[in-house]
Amino acid sequence: VTTYCHYPPEAAKKPKIGDFLHPNLERIVGLRPDLVISESTGVRGSVQLTLPALEVRNGSVAEILEAIDTIGRAAGVPDRAERLAARIRSDLGAISERTARLKHPRVMFVAGRTPGRVEDIVVAGRGSHLDELIGIAGGVSVFRDTVSNYSKISLEALVARNPEVIIDMGEMADTAGVTEAQKRAVAATWAARMPMLAAVRNRRVYAVASDIYVVPGPRIVEAAREFARMLHPGAGF
């Protein structure tokens, strides 16, 4: 597993092979795995090994479900993978059905920015699983027309789109050990820098720090539920 794998708890006991951008190839070879599973980045071969290897994509919800099926077959447990994917589809469908008739607020998910400042903002946009989950949770991503999954935006574009809800994970690259004081500081940063935004005026800036949002996999249902709670606080999610 990578240095950023925190779930399930058993992952903490596994040997670490580096991270997404800097895998330790010698370490991987030394572990003599039966199968190497990696995420496809569109650039072939961050890991070029003489080992059985499998690349999966997980940019969208459909790709996440397909990856579960692919990994299940490769691991010899296709029935388990099929049941898991079916449960995810069912749970996401149930959330979508509950939110369909609710008012859909304009939402921005901040995936990155300069710490302590409202600068160099990177948002989840078109083609990202977060954009899809926001829609399932009963929101409308204000940057769903971006040219890539995650795009840097200007402050002028931010003011023009004027999100009603801001979900900010921009300072939480390391999700472990984030305190409530740190989360309050994020809201305070927005209040000081962007008081004209609807989300700031109505105190609907949510600082989040959890792998459920940025590690595409079975817990996308948890992420969708959390989005629904933030977007529709009186709906009982």
Distance, CA of 199 to CA of 190 (rounded, Å): 9
pTM above 0.85, yes or no: yes
Q: Is the dihedral of CA 10, 58, 183, 232 positive or negative?
A: negative
| pLDDT score, position 177 | 72
Q: Which residues contact 26 (CB under 8 A, 6 or more apart)?
A: none
How many alpha carbons lie under 13 Å from residue 231 in its C-beta half-sphere? 29
The CA–CA distances, whole Å, from 175 to 45, 182, 210 equal: 28, 12, 5
153 and 143 in contact (C-beta within 8 Å)?
yes
**How many CB atoms lie under 10 A from the CB of residue 112?**
18
| 154, 169, 176, 190, 205 from 161: Cα distances, Å | 11, 19, 32, 15, 15
pLDDT tens, the chain, 237 aa long? 998 888 899 998 999 999 878 888 889 989 999 999 988 764 344 455 578 889 999 999 999 999 999 999 999 999 999 999 999 999 999 999 999 999 999 999 999 999 999 999 999 998 899 999 999 999 999 999 988 899 999 999 999 999 999 999 988 766 777 888 989 999 999 999 999 999 999 999 999 999 999 889 999 999 999 999 999 998 999
Which residues on adjacent β-strands are paired with residue 124? 150
Nearest alpha carbon to residue 100 among 62, 137, 144, 142: 137
C-alpha pair distances (Å), 150 with each of 69, 160, 213, 233? 25, 19, 14, 27
- The pLDDT, as a whole number, for residue 105 is 98
Per-residue pLDDT at 97: 97
